[in-house]
Amino acid sequence: MFTTHKLMGAGGVGGSDPYWITVAGSSANELIKGIAQSSSGDVYIAGNTNTTGTYQAIVAKFGSSDGVFQWAKSTTYAAAPYNSSDHNDIYPLSSGNLIISGLGEVSSNNRDWYIKEVNPSGVVQWGIRLAGGNSDYGYGISVDSSGNIYCAGISNINLSLSGNLVKLSSSGTLQWQRSIGVTSTWLRSTEVGSSGNVYALGYTDNVSGTNYCLVAKWNASGVLQWQRLIQPSTGASYDGGLVIDASENIYVGLSLGGAGSVMKFNSSGVLQWQKTISNTIDVTSVSLSGTGIFFHGNSTTSGNYAPVVGEMDYSGNVIWSNRFIYNSTPADTYTTKVKITSKGDICLSMNTYATGAGGIDTVVARLPPDGTGTGSYGGLNYAAFSVTSSNSSATILTSSLSEGSANLSASSYNGTDTTLVLSELNYPITP
């Protein structure tokens, strides 16, 4: 079932600023990994669902003005019983089409990395399959001004896990591929600058057996420029997401020793500042606007997760912060992605156990970028939540993980898409 709650914009309900929250759910599980807003304002999500009993990759579209469900499609890449799949990221193109990355099971304990382009109706335009290890997964996507596509991922070859970065042409032809780390190294986010430099974020336990975040830079030809590890004063660090500004300063969201953190590096990999955000356990994604850095992470309440969204200025000081929590049914609700779109909206996705539908449901929201629009929406309370930022004390290490060409073979996409029919209930709400 899809239930949509519409927030009142500047022109009233249905006015010039159509903000909304949609709760998507069924008796099965829906796990959303990525969110994107197209140039027309429509919002797309990507992840997986197990409505058929097997986890299958899903992409769905919601209308720009009201969050009304438009369509959804699931994808499999092989015949049963080897037909589980997942989508991990989605990226909007200026044409209105979208690039999606993920993975698909092709045989027992063997998954391949898939990247495809779909049009606004979800019809595949082209697709590529990347294979080389026992399992190959595609994660974060970025696209440069010429339409070239960059995707971060991993390959597991004989239980040796390496982080991978690939570049495709706008039509899906493999241009180059790079690998970093030889065991237990992941790359899961990537951004490309106007000069063609590519930045990636992940984590590794190559150094001391403890997970450290990994930040790295390659030039436009795929040559590694530098790599850095983030070592907390205690515990481990886990990647959340990264974004770059016009000067290619890098902003990283992460979990640092069990607390949410945001860091800024310059384009040479030199740390500019690092901040811990109080009352959070992680920062899962970051995005930029003209006014500041938006972060999305998790807090805890009564032993359950509760998502936090907020804005920092470019010096790392918190401007505002809000939290989502279900009023009547305390249960885990946790964040996945936040994006500040070309239209200036906050688009975010969350997953929740709290709706009582019997599984994990999905929350998709298009929110005002100034922290307004708070209120209660179908039991989901969006309210001010106090967090502050303070200087953290992680050590930035110049790492020397092994790096070279990845060994992925490319072939054409061979997935099967199935249209999903979903019910919907839509009504406006004034906060």
Q: pLDDT tens digits, residue range 166-201?
A: 999 999 999 999 999 877 899 999 999 999 999 999
The residue-averaged pLDDT of 110-138 equals: 92
Q: Which amino acid is at 150?
A: Y
More confident residue, 262 or 423: 262
Q: Among 117-121, 146-150, 205-209, where is mean pLDDT lowest?
A: 205-209
Q: pLDDT tens digits, residue range 206-227?
A: 777 789 999 999 999 999 999 9
Position 362 pLDDT exceeds 90: no
State the first-to-last Cα distance of the chain, in angstroms, to the nearest integer.
23
CA–CA separation, 24 vs 28, rounded Å?
11
Percentage of residues of the chain with pLDDT beyond 70:
89
On average, the pLDDT of the chain sits at 87
The residue-averaged pLDDT of 145-149 equals: 97
CA–CA separation, 63 vs 37, rounded Å?
10
Kindly give, in sequence order, each residue whose CB lies less than 8 Å from that of residue 11, ignoring residues fewer than 6 positions away: 17
Percentage of residues of the chain with pLDDT beyond 90:
55
Q: What pLDDT does 426 receive? A: 38
Q: pLDDT tens digits, residue range 18-29?
A: 788 888 766 678
More confident residue, 166 or 3: 166
The residue-averaged pLDDT of 407-417 equals: 85
Position 317 pLDDT exceeds 70: yes
Kindly give, in sequence order, each residue whose CB lies less than 8 Å from that of residue 95, ignoring residues fewer than 6 positions away: none
Q: Which is nearest to 177 in space by CA: 424, 404, 346, 376?
A: 404
Q: pLDDT tens digits, residue range 14-55?
A: 345 578 888 876 667 888 899 999 988 899 999 998 877 788
The residue-averaged pLDDT of 104-133 equals: 91
Q: What pLDDT does 3 receive? A: 56
CA–CA separation, 192 vs 99, rounded Å?
15
Q: Which residues pair with 237 in a beta bridge?
A: 256
Position 2 pLDDT exceeds 60: no
Q: Which amino acid is at 390?
A: S
Q: pLDDT tens digits, residue range 333-355?
A: 777 787 877 778 899 888 887 76
Q: pLDDT tens digits, residue range 229-286?
A: 999 999 999 999 999 999 999 999 999 999 999 999 999 999 999 999 999 999 999 9
Q: Is 284 exposed, middle or buried (0-12, 13-18, 19+ CB in 10 A)?
A: buried
pLDDT band at 12 (very low <50, low <70, confident <90, very high): very low
Position 104 pLDDT exceeds 60: yes
Q: What pLDDT does 136 receive? A: 93
Kindly give, in sequence order, each residue whose CB lies less than 8 Å from that of residue 225, ignoring residues fewer than 6 positions away: 197, 217, 218, 219, 269
More confident residue, 303 or 228: 228
